[in-house]
Copies of this chain bind each other. A is one copy, B any other.
Amino acid sequence: MLGEIIAIGNELTSGRIPNTTSGFAAHHLFKAGFDIYAMHTIGDTPKLIGEALKRALGRVDFVLVTGGLGPTEDDLTTEAVSEALNRPTMPNLEILSLVRQHLSSNTEQPISSLEKLAWLPEGAETLSPKTKMAGFQLIHNNKPIFFLPGIPHQMRTLLVEQVLPRLATWYDGKQLTSSQKVFKIFGKTEIEINHDIKALTLEKNVEIGYYPVFPDVHLSMTIRGNDARKTDHLARKSIRLITNRLGSSMYGSERDTMESVVGALLLDSNKKLSVAESCTGGLISHLMTSIAGSSDYYLGGVTSYANSMKTTYLKVKESLLEKHGAVSQEVAIAMAQGMRIKSNADLSLSVTGIAGPGGGSDDKPVGTVFIGLSEKNETTAQRFLFSGNRYEIQRLTAQTALDIVRHHLLQTDTSDFHE
């Protein structure tokens, strides 16, 4: 079953706002067994909207349209559809009463603009009868068309809760099965990974794709067929081959992130981490605490951006800062030790470096970073040279620091296991 996605909005064609909704929809439709023939982004121009919709209806089985359903004057999707498909708009009484209820408790809001939300093309069925989200469905020439708001979280809710179940019912039994797996790799280039994987003998209908997704490379494996058992069997076999081949450069798969993987390893080894950050300015801490439940293994940290913070909070000696400079192996070691001891952590990371654009020298150019790791019996620090802009250097530093913790915990884990 083939579909097309049409995203509408001048904010998208002028590039002012990135289009995140089409990718999200494509991802969920793909997972549910539907292929996307094409995705289009066009402006809030009724003529263009009508043309794109009619062209899509002529070549695919269903269409998803997002954006332009809001209450303001620049939202023109509903009238464009009404015109293109020759379906006059009429008020949906359910929505109208909801809007009026809302208005009676909010006398300051402009009435006419909100009431606009209740006028839909003939034959439209609302997708969110009990909420204030816009969104409706039309069946035209026996093909379903879904209209969703452009606001990402509303669009996502309606796609998952309304569109996917409706499409599944509509096409029941006709869909192919597909199996996709994504492997996440840090520290190798696309070409190096390609070279590794080409040495494997994978079956013909196992499709492999390589995608640099900063700071990682993702490898995707896709298998399609019409026999779910065979597809699953081949998938399991291929996943084993690829996983073995990639080894520890593969840190996870699917929705794993470096921080979720490190978090799980800390939890399993019952160790608490704290972090002293200079050039990453809180990014590592932010990544660690983006995971729900991270308070079970993450204590917190110090962002010692100024040198005074390094001496006050991390007990780095001023003489050390003077002798070696803040960006040095010695200071990275002192930061990690100071952090671990005072926070009473099992493991502490430290980061000090030059994220740029200023601050570089011949000796220590922009991108020079020292990463330290302290445990009860040992504290070490390594020197790195990263390239990119300020954000890229900060992000590469954070990912590398977390990868150092990952390798450290994997090694500890393995030796425990063998002893």
Contacts and interface: CB of A to CB of B under 8 A. Distances in A.
A212 B21 CA distance: 13
A305 B309 contact: no
A209 B342 contact: no
A282 B293 contact: no
A17 B222 CA distance: 15
A297 B277 CA distance: 17
B15 A312 contact: no
Interface in A380-408: 388, 390-392, 394
B299 A306 contact: yes
A298 B305 CA distance: 7
B298 A290 contact: no
A284 interface: yes
A13 B40 contact: no
Interface stretch (A190-198, A260-268, A368-376): A190-198
B74 A210 contact: yes
Nearest to A356: B292
A46 to B, nearest CB: 14
B292 A281 contact: no
A348 to B, nearest CB: 12
B292 A286 contact: no
Interface in A286-305: 286, 288-290, 292-295, 298-305
Instruction: Say which size band chain A's interface belongs to.
Output: 35 or more
B210 A72 contact: yes
A13 B42 contact: no
A356 to B, nearest CB: 7
Interface string A16-40: 1111101111111110000111111
Contacts of A30: 13-16
7 contacts: A13-B36, A19-B22, A38-B48, A39-B42, A110-B191, A302-B302, A302-B303
Given A38-B41, A305-B295, A15 B19 contact: no
Interface in A196-232: 198, 207-214, 218, 220, 222
A209 B11 contact: yes
Contacts of A290: 281, 390-391, 394
Contacts of A52: 38
A70 B114 CA distance: 49
Contacts of A24: 15
B17 A213 contact: yes
Contacts of A209: 10-11, 74
B282 A211 contact: no
B281 A303 contact: no
Given A282-B285, A293-B358, 20 more contacts: A10-B209, A12-B26, A14-B30, A15-B24, A15-B36, A17-B23, A18-B20, A38-B40, A38-B41, A39-B42, A71-B191, A71-B194, A110-B194, A281-B289, A281-B294, A282-B282, A289-B394, A298-B306, A299-B305, A302-B313
A412 interface: no
A285 B312 contact: no
Interface string A343-358: 1100000000000111
A96 interface: no
A182 interface: yes
B305 A303 contact: no
Contacts of A38: 13, 40-42, 48, 52
